[in-house]
Chain A
């Protein structure tokens, strides 16, 4: 990397407090309530989208102060945006929550935990070298058997469960990473991201093969950085904007027809680059232009449309919607379309597939209790389907569901939906 990414850069005032227009859109009809995992778990209005919007409005107006209690309610929010997807009034809840968190952080009265979290995200997640060190430690933790021991010790079990799984070969390739056998029909650039290449390199490999098999030349621009989603979610919009700028430059330079993202959270964040950088004269237009080319990998494949595989292994699969795919990007049909196209695969829908599993970025680490509660419910619903494979669309969800399977002693495999498509292609003898 030629120059290290600027760690912080100022952003417009609009981004560090929810706008009045956004806040006043909520008419308190309550249709969000039954879609909010934390409201369903607690029954408390304070842990509901409507309640949080009202609280954020009070914070913005100075009616309420960011006390530990008030900030705690913002903290309990998964930012799964299920509420946003069902809101008849169109409240941009994700945007409001990010801005409210930014406001608290900027106000200087944020709790220590928030400041430490922001520091970690800025100094580790956004720095590939440091992140690789953490990943190496996690890899060792699992490989040496320490994890298996720790997860068996009752007092430790719940605390260590959410340490991300890092296994398999990391993905380090850049430049053109896959070419079709025949003529190039599309040129796409792949966001490799921060954690994905370290924890789930195999998903990138599968993605590249699947895209190539469908006539795409796949590039991984070397200058790309972390998408900044986690930073934005946690109120550090300055870092998010800085990362966004670097990605805008990197991906526009790649000149691809589309930016393909196989991580739901990252895809959602990149689609919102236009809004994030809207007040920056140098970047507003570029960011908007780039954001228009961003596609989730399922969305992209479904639109092509992809070639249905000729055969596939006999499998029972249940699909867990990734929140930032289903709710933030509104894509629930495409992954199911892909799974349904695989011969031999039987899709068994779980109850509440579109309800958050409790992963939610760093949520499982910051709110382990609520996260566990949601995960336990999720695993019960998964077990009820009897499926052998859980397919999903985001690394955080994969890691969480793997942890859930270990915790519940469930013999299921967790896979990215694209991995299953890749396997079906290989099963049918198609190669790149």
Chain B
């Protein structure tokens, strides 16, 4: 008979009594559901041992980093142990001349960035809350931001991982060299799997030299099509654009980019000084051709990361924010971004929308006071634009009636079989993933 006491006792035996205990605050709750125990392993072996134990006792485990992205996912079916990786926060290896870095999953991106910056390098991980988020968490949630335009998403620069399996074995996928096709590319599978296939312990990234020059431009344009057109043309010309965001008036206003009813295009430039200077000139001309004028620069101009179109989302276990707040991600073909933006406005009057035009991704923040009706309208809007809506965060109550990932994708049956093979006892983040896997 497994009791909370026996779980705690077991976890304390594995990680030490000071690193195992009952949840102290609500911060470990997921969608309002608190775990029975929290454990912070100090080594890969301890993490694996926790899983071995949980697997043998059929205890549900949800791994977590800093918790900044815990809102994503369906309501868990069960939640016994919060497996907190914050103590695994070291740089394992960094040879600057190899342009690779290996770090533990619990390291914050802030620390990783600092470390790499000292060598004039960067790992282009770009989630919503860059400083606090951990490497492992960002990978598990496949979080990205507008910098994906230039640098891609985690799947493009993660070259190796160590992962603890559901039955508590420490395994390796990929390697530490930049080019490697030995064996199946399991890194791809783990990225974005939301802790349902294994627990990421360590990752190796390709890094790149930091750009010598950076800059930021913002233009107010008559319509979303104009803004997307400028961004597309800039990319076609190969100008030094690292990130692009198209903001609707509400999002622009929230950033202090007051431009009336206009759409605002924010571009972050990176490259050599000469290339950045020329890019700025050409982009200004392109914007002018489409009736654009410079928008007031936001205060963070020149920062490495672009402005966020909204305040930090409510932490998963700490629903301190507005319980009606919703954050969603629409994915459509890039050519349909303007259409999707219009459809969002029509579905949610207070929506703050920030689109990554050339990727075909739109981030929406709005409120829903109508018991999920807005969500349904948004989802319908996404469908009409040929895409889908994934809800990153909303009130847990709303989640019970819908799958935050939308209808199961075409290959869902294969995904179900993957989950079944990797986690036959269903102990890893049960119910949280696509189709409530």
A–B touching in complex (CB under 8 Å) = no
**Residues in chain B within 8 A of chain A (CB atoms):** none
